[in-house]
Amino acid sequence: MTLPVPPAEQSVAAEEREAELPWLRLDKRMLLIHPVNEVVRLAPALILAVLLGSRSGNHAWGLIGLAIVVGAAVLRWFTTTYRIGPVHIELRSGLFQRRRLSVPRSRIRSIDVESTVLHRLLGLAVIRIDTGQQASGDEAFRLNALDARAVPPMRAALLRTAAPAETDTPVPAGIEVARFSPAWVRYAPLSFTGVAIVAPIAGLAVQFGAVQWLAESDAVSGGVESARSIGLPIAITVGVIAALALLSVLACAGYLIRWGRLRVIDDGRTLHCESGLLTTRAMTLDRDRLRGATVAEPLLLRAVGGAELEAIMTGGHRQAKLIPQSPRGEVERVMHHLLGSARQYTAPLVGHGPVAARRRMTRAVAPVLLLAAGLLLAGRYGATIPWSAWVGIAVLLVGAVALAIDRYRGLGHAVLGGDRRWLITRSGSLYRDRDCVEANGIVGWTVRQTFFQRRAGVATVCAATAAGKGRYDVIDLPEAGAWELIEDVQPGAGDIWARRT
Confidence of residue 264 (pLDDT cuts 50, 70, 90): very high
* Burial (CB count within 10 angstroms: exposed 0-12, middle 13-18, buried 19+), residue 324: buried
Cα–Cα distance for residue pair 83/85, rounded to 1 Å = 6
Directed axis angle between helix 232-259 and helix 193-207, to 10°?
A: 110
Q: What is the mean pLDDT of residues 161-179?
A: 59
- Give me the long-range contacts of 7-12 (CB less than 8 A, separation at least 24): 7/86, 7/161, 8/86, 8/87, 8/105, 8/106, 8/161, 8/164, 9/86, 9/87, 10/87, 10/106
Sign of the torsion formed by the C-alpha atoms of 169, 173, 178 and 180 = positive
Beta strands in 53-181 (DSSP E): 81-84, 88-93, 99-104, 110-115, 124-130, 141-147, 175-179
Confidence of residue 418 (pLDDT cuts 50, 70, 90): confident
Residue 168 pLDDT: 42
Q: Which of the pair, 61 or 447, is modelled with greater confidence?
A: 447
Q: Is the model's pLDDT at 471 over the cut of 50? A: yes
Q: What is the pLDDT of residues 399-414, one digit of tens each?
A: 999 999 999 999 999 9
Cβ-proximal residues to 20 (8 Å cutoff; 6+ apart), any chain: none
Cα–Cα distance for residue pair 122/33, rounded to 1 Å = 9
The answer to whether the beta carbons of residues 269 and 286 sit under 8 Å apart is yes
Burial 454-477 (b: 16+ CB within 10 A, else e): eebebbbbbbebbbbeeebbbbbb
Q: What is the pTM of this model?
A: 0.79
Domain residue spans of the chain: 12-173, 174-346, 358-402, 411-501
